[in-house]
């Protein structure tokens, strides 16, 4: 096939060495530094067309008519499709509820909703043709927050709900609601010497991965389609795409192409169905690449939230109770909102022991942009609020904020508000102790050279707004609790295929899974696992595609655990088969074949005493072992819809941060000087990747603390800043040094004792920075991101 | 229109270029050089950075017609470019920037980052592949070794920017590195490993001199 660098080339023939625990380098590293790695936007096919999406310019409107004649008549245009052209009965899709139309029908529910798609021979032709499509919109009133969405007579975002939560929610504009009641919060409140409460606001954050939504759909001769795309979960995409195309799943063949970051933003479909529809209609390969503006409309964002919290504590510093109400704005379509609600409620107390709680979390349907998965998934918003509350309590008791947290820190054995016992190490106090014990970065670093102030180290940086006058320092702490893997009874399995054979006189293992490598380094640790289990140097990681069983999503910090676990498990079975072959061939020559514990090491079969029995090359000569197996972690349970009780989570991950900031109090500018982290990773399979994940997650938390927010006009529900000019993510100048302290307390239930890593550092980073800014300025600051006007009172 | 220019040392001709096409589009979609990345196409992220007559520019902001008769280096040509520069004695392969160190002392006295510090990451345990892949430029190898590549979408732009900075300033301080790379966004790494990589490349270069 004439695609440039088809994904087949991506990870083949990894020549890296090293088993688990080593900082083995990425097998795709060389391709990535030479520009040869084929990302989804690099796919190319002779004779291909370019697709473009026409999106709604209004948030909520009836579509009176769509006129595509002029667009279709444009030279170079091959197809213009609207809802009426959809080929199958099924015309909607969705992760949890099928509430999202492939193309708008009858009305649009949010700014940027796809209405029509165009295929043309040049991307600019497609864009210009799309601009010629005439749509007659009749504006409808918008609902944008809880008050407007649940007011009497409020317009319903979805008039006809048929999802499984529809009956359980108090209003049709509520996607899902999860109360959790445990103990007697009202009674316990009476024992409190100090009660603090607060209302907190968390802004809408964007994943802002750099590689745009993109891919190539190639029509097949059998009437099916091949799709090369960047996604987080091939099989979930497939399950949603095939019915809309009216094709059986085996006629939609999906291959992962290079993914330029994801962070939750690729869990939902973006251009997948559109590209396939255009390819099937025109009979030609169709490539779609969103530009940055469209990318902001093409994926869901992190739920903005309003949170009300009340905590009490005794004079001795013990928490008495917690009450909270968390309202998440899910926007126009459900996406992952129900699961986000489950996380926000069940993790709303954070890593603390509180027995008496009264919790409610819910997600709204509004006409705002749809929100769904993003790194930290519901736990982030809660952490922002409960950590602010911890500082307030400590202040109310005149205690050190770290000491106060330590007094209430969860430990192994503590119950979550859902009644679930935490049955693995929970080193919350230790993580806090470690970040606190770290030496402070020197004061007034901008003067370190002893000469004129280096403005680059000051708030405002090169804009030269201060030379240090009016700059004050603050320090803040935070710690967070995140679940790992999919919760609430979800069948969270993964599949691995492993083959072992002799190639060119060397034993070689080939690992094939459908795991989406999105940059996190899964391909590296998967090879490390195979090397460790099978004792071979040479491991080939095959490209991820739908010819192998599902690996589940690259989300929820779960892939090293679940797909890593699947590879480990399959390798163990392959090893047994290899030993069987060995026994049949050589068993008669040495009694140890029958009696000893046998291992595969350095290309040999050895006894646990270290005696070499045979070379793998000789054992496998002329034979190969090839197995594909599914693997599951311990099952979880759904939360009770009234009480929230249930063993809903698989595993937990903990991180603590200490932030040191300097604030220019005159201009309201913040410089984060240092963000120290301590995290328990259970077992670091690849220490270098572990650091990269922790530092990257920390930086995203820093972003939402001081700059990142999608601004939606509260009157029109239109997005105001869909560009990297106006939606700011941290640059290298905004990001401080991030020293990392890694703890490895094994979780005995997990493969190798490992813990999911990727999300926890995103939780506590934000509240630590906020706490530091409060500490520097004395301001209350109950919203994130903090903007200069919040600091200067203007 | 037709555009003639040099890419990575080779003369190229692009035909039927529409007047609104960017240099980035021509490189990626017409020349078959997708290494320069299209993350924002509005000059904000630096993923598309190439060198135009030696200077780093955002290829997405350069109209294709502007490069007529000029010289472009992309990430695909970085290794060759660095090798030729090394053969000429250090800096300014195109002769426009910097000068070759006369006494071979470049990068010693003013070095803001000590060799020891730059190589500290090795204490975390590297693997055996350092030194393999000899056809990479020093900055490319350093990005791999230091773990500065995750999704890698920012990497080509960062490499071109960092390579140019090291050409001008072989022993940058951390503040210099941050300043030079501030136009390149990375969403995955938190930049710490990218800093490590640039320090490492600088240290290796000064060792080699
Ligand atoms: S793609 Fe050119 S600067 Fe972002
Ligand atoms: S953007 Fe993914 S590695 Fe930099």
Residue by residue, DSSP assigns A179-241 as EEEES-HHHHHTT-SEEEEEEEEE-------SSPSEEEEEE-TTS-EEEEE--SBHHHHHHHH
**pLDDT > 90? residue A464:** no
What is the rounded average pLDDT of the residues A723-729? Answer: 97
- Calpha distance A214→A230 (Å, rounded): 7
Q: Is A606:A613 a contact under the CB 8 Å cutoff?
A: yes
Nearest residue of chain A to residue B136 (CA atoms): A34
Short-list A626, A623, A572, CA closest to A598: A572
Q: How far apart are the CA of B194 and the centre of ligand 2, in A?
A: 10
pLDDT band of B122, cuts 50, 70, 90: very low
Using CA atoms, how far apart are residues A469 and A452, in angstroms rounded to an integer? 13
Give the model's pLDDT for residue A22: 93
Chain B residues with beta carbon closer than 8 angstroms to that of A696? 150, 187-190
Nearest residue of chain A to residue B153 (CA atoms): A260
Given this model, what pLDDT does residue B207 score? 79
Q: Read off the DSSP letter of residue A348.
A: T
CB A381, CB A371: distance < 8 Å: no
CB contact under 8 A, B192 and A42: no
Angle at B57 between CA B52 and CA B60, to 5 degrees: 105
Q: What pLDDT does residue A449 have?
A: 59
For residue B113, pLDDT beyond 70? no
Give mean pLDDT, residues A60-79.
98
User: Is A496's pLDDT higher than 70?
Assistant: yes
Res A475 pLDDT > 70: yes
Question: Is B39–A457 a contact, with Cβ atoms under 8 angstroms apart?
Answer: no
Q: B102 vs chain A: nearest CA distance in angstroms?
A: 28
The pocket around ligand 1, CB under 6 angstroms, is made up of B 38-41, 43-48, 58, 60
Answer whether A773's CB lies under 8 Å from A476's CB. yes
From chain B, the residues in CB contact with A518 under 8 A are 151
pLDDT tens digits, A44-54:
999 999 999 99
pLDDT at B109 over 60: no
d(CA A503, CA A603): 13
Bridge partners of A80?
Answer: A118
**Does residue A496 sit in helix, strand or coil?**
strand
Q: Which residue has the tokens 């078959």?
A: B32
State the ligand closest to the CA atom of B38.
1
Q: Is the pLDDT of residue B196 over 70?
A: yes
E-state strands within A314-457: 319-329, 356-364, 371-372
Q: What is the pLDDT of residue B209?
A: 59
CA distance A45 to A217: 10
Q: How far out from the chain centre does Cα B7 lie?
A: 15
Mean pLDDT score, A474-480: 98
Q: What are phi and psi of A532, to 5 degrees?
A: -65, -45
Cβ-contact A29, A524 below 8 angstroms: no
Burial of residue A727, with CB atoms counted within 10 A of its CB: 0-12 exposed, 13-18 middle, 19 or more buried: buried
Residue whose token pair is 């230091």: B146
**Strand B49-52 to B55-58 pairing:** antiparallel
Would the CA dihedral through A734, A720, A362, A486 be positive or negative?
Answer: negative
Q: What is the mean pLDDT of residues A624-649?
A: 97
The partner residue sitting opposite B127, judged by closest CB among A17, A209, A733, is A17
CA distance A243 to A257: 22
Q: Nearest CA of chain A to the CA of B98: how many Å?
A: 24
Q: Do B178 and A687 touch (CB under 8 A)?
A: no
Residue A152, CA atoms < 13 Å, CB-side half-sphere = 0
pLDDT given for residue A744 in this prediction: 97
Which tokens is A777 given?
């300025």
User: Which of A16, A26, A29, A701 to mutate to probe the B interface, most B CBs <10 Å?
Assistant: A29
Tell which of A27, A732, A762 to mutate to test the B interface (max B CBs under 10 Å). Answer: A732
What radius of gyration do chain A's Cα atoms show?
A: 27
- Name the band, by pLDDT with cuts 50, 70 and 90, for residue B205: confident
Spatial neighbors of A451 by CB under 8 A, at least 6 apart, are none
Say yes or no to pLDDT of B118 above 70.
Answer: no
Strand order in the sheet with A538-541: A538-541, A506-512, A494-503, A625-631
Contact present, A300 and A99 (Cβ < 8 Å): no
Residues A214, A288: contact at Cβ < 8 Å?
A: yes
What are the φ/ψ torsions at residue A719 (nearest 5 degrees)?
-80, 130
Structure-token match 């140097």, residue found: A537
Q: What is the pLDDT of residue B87?
A: 85
Work out which ligand 1 atom sits closest to the CA atom of B183.
Answer: 3
- pLDDT of residue A444 exceeding 90, the answer is no
Cβ distance A34 to B75 less than 8 Å, yes or no, reads yes
Residue B14 has pLDDT above 60, yes or no: yes
Considering only alpha carbons, which residue of chain A is nearest residue B195?
Answer: A732
Atom 4 of ligand 2, nearest CA residue: B186
For B147-193, write each residue's pLDDT tens digit. 999 999 999 999 999 999 999 999 999 999 999 999 999 999 999 99
Instruction: Judge whether A33 is closer than 8 Å to chain B, CB to CB.
Output: yes
Question: 270-309 in A: which are within 8 Å (CB) of B?
Answer: 289, 291-292
How much is the pLDDT for B101? 33
CA of A751 to the centre of ligand 1 (A): 41
Work out the angle between the directed axes of helices A687-706 and B192-208 (0-180°, nearest 10).
Answer: 120
pTM of the full structure = 0.93
A33 lines ligand 2 (CB under 6 A): no
Is residue A673 predicted with pLDDT exceeding 70?
yes
Tell me how long chain A is.
794
A positions 303-362 inside 8 Å of B (CB): none
Nearest to A363 by CA among A349, A375, A381: A381
Phi, psi of A374 (to 5 degrees): -150, 140
Output the CA–CA distances (angstroms, integers) from residue A768 to A324, A384, A701, A704, A731, in the order listed: 21, 9, 9, 12, 19
More confident residue, A682 or B88: A682
- Yes or no: say if A494 and A552 are a contact pair by the CB < 8 Å rule: yes
Contact list in B for residue A291 (CB cut-off 8 A) is 40-42
């Amino acid at each position: 096939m004439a695609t440039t660098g088809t994904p087949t080339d991506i990870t083949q023939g990894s020549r890296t060495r090293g088993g688990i625990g080593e900082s083995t380098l990425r097998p795709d590293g060389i391709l990535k530094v030479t520009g040869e790695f084929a990302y989804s936007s690099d796919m190319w096919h002779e004779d291909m067309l370019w697709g473009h999406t026409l999106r709604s310019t209004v948030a909520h409107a009836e579509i009176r008519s769509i006129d595509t004649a002029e667009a279709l008549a444009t030279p170079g245009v091959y197809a213009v499709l609207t809802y009426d052209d959809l080929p199958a009965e099924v015309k909607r899709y969705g992760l949890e509820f099928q509430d999202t139309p492939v193309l708008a029908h009858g009305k649009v529910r949010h700014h940027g909703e796809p209405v029509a798609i165009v295929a043309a021979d040049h991307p600019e032709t497609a864009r210009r043709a799309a601009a010629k499509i005439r749509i007659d919109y009749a504006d409808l009133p918008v609902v944008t927050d809880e008050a407007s969405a649940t007011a009497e007579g409020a317009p319903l975002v979805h008039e006809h709900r048929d999802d499984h939560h529809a009956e359980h929610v108090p209003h049709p504009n509520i996607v899902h609601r999860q109360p959790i009641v445990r103990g007697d919060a009202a009674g316990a409140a009476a024992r409190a010497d100090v009660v603090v409460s607060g209302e907190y606001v968390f802004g809408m954050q964007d994943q802002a991965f750099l590689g745009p939504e993109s891919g190539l759909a190639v029509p097949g001769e059998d009437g099916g389609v091949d799709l090369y795309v960047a996604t987080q979960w091939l099989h979930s995409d497939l399950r949603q795409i095939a019915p809309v195309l009216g094709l059986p799943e085996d006629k939609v063949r999906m291959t992962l192409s290079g993914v330029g970051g994801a962070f939750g933003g690729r869990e939902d479909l973006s251009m997948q169905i559109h590209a396939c529809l255009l390819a099937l209609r025109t009979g030609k390969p169709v490539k779609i690449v969103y530009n940055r503006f469209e990318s902001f409309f093409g994926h869901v964002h992190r739920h903005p939230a309003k949170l009300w919290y009340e905590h009490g504590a005794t004079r001795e510093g013990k928490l008495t109770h917690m009450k909270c109400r968390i309202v998440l704005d899910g926007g126009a379509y459900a996406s992952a909102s129900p699961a986000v609600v489950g996380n926000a409620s069940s993790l709303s107390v954070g890593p603390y022991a509180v027995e008496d709680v009264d919790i409610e979390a819910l997600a709204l349907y509004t006409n705002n942009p749809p929100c769904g998965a993003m790194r930290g998934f519901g736990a982030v918003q809660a952490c922002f609020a409960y950590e602010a509350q911890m500082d307030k309590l400590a202040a109310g008791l005149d205690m050190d904020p770290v000491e106060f947290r330590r007094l209430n820190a969860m430990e192994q054995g503590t119950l979550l508000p859902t009644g679930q016992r935490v049955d693995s190490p929970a080193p919350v106090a230790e993580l806090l102790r470690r970040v606190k014990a770290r030496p402070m970065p020197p004061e007034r670093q901008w003067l370190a050279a002893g000469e004129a102030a280096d403005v680059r180290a000051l708030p405002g940086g090169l804009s030269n707004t201060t030379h240090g006058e009016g700059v004050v320092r603050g320090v803040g702490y935070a710690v967070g609790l995140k679940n790992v893997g999919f919760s609430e009874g979800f069948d969270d399995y993964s599949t691995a295929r492993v083959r072992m054979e002799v190639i060119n006189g060397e034993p070689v293992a080939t690992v094939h899974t459908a795991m989406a490598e999105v940059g996190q380094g899964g391909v590296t640790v998967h090879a490390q696992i195979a090397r460790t289990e099978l004792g071979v140097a040479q491991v080939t990681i095959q490209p991820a595609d739908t010819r192998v069983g599902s690996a589940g999503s690259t989300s929820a910090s779960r892939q090293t655990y679940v797909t890593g676990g699947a590879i480990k498990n399959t390798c163990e079975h392959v090893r047994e088969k290899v030993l069987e072959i060995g026994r049949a061939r050589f068993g008669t020559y040495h009694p140890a074949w029958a009696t000893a514990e046998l291992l595969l090491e350095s290309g040999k079969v050895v006894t646990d005493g270290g005696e070499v029995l045979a070379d793998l090359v000789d054992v496998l000569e002329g034979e190969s072992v090839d197995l594909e197996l599914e693997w599951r972690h311990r099952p979880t349970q759904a939360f009770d819809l009234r009480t929230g009780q249930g063993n809903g989570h698989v595993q937990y991950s903990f991180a603590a941060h200490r932030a040191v900031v300097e604030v220019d109090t005159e201009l309201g500018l913040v410089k984060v000087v240092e963000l120290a982290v301590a995290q328990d990773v259970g077992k670091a399979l690849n220490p270098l990747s572990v650091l990269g994940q922790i530092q990257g997650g920390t930086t995203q938390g820093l972003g939402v603390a001081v700059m990142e927010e999608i601004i939606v006009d509260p009157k029109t529900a239109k997005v105001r800043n869909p560009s990297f000019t106006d939606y700011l993510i941290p640059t290298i100048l905004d990001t401080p040094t991030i020293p990392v302290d890694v703890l490895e307390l094994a979780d005995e239930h997990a493969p190798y004792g490992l813990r999911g890593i990727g999300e926890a550092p995103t939780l506590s980073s934000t509240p630590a920075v906020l706490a530091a800014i409060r500490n520097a300025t004395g301001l209350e600051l109950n919203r994130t991101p903090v903007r200069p006007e919040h600091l200067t009172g203007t | 229109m037709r555009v003639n220019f040099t890419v990575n040392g080779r003369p190229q001709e692009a035909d039927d270029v529409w007047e609104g096409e960017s240099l980035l589009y021509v490189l990626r979609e017409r020349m078959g050089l997708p290494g320069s990345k299209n993350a924002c196409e509005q000059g904000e992220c630096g993923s598309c950075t190439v060198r135009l007559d030696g200077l780093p520019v955002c290829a997405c902001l350069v109209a294709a017609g502007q490069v007529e008769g000029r010289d472009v280096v992309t990430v695909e040509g970085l290794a060759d470019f660095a090798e030729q520069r090394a053969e000429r004695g250090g800096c300014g392969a195109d002769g426009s920037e910097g000068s070759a160190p006369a006494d071979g002392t470049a990068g010693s006295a003013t070095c803001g980052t000590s060799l020891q510090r730059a190589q500290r990451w090795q204490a975390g345990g590297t693997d055996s592949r350092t030194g393999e892949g000899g056809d990479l430029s020093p900055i490319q190898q350093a990005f791999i070794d230091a773990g500065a590549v995750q999704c890698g979408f920012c990497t080509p732009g960062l490499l071109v920017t960092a390579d140019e900075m090291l050409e001008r300033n072989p022993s940058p301080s951390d503040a210099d590195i941050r300043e030079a790379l501030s136009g390149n966004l990375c969403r995955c790494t938190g930049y710490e490993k990218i800093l490590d990589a640039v320090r490492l490349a600088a240290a290796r270069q000064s060792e080699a001199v």
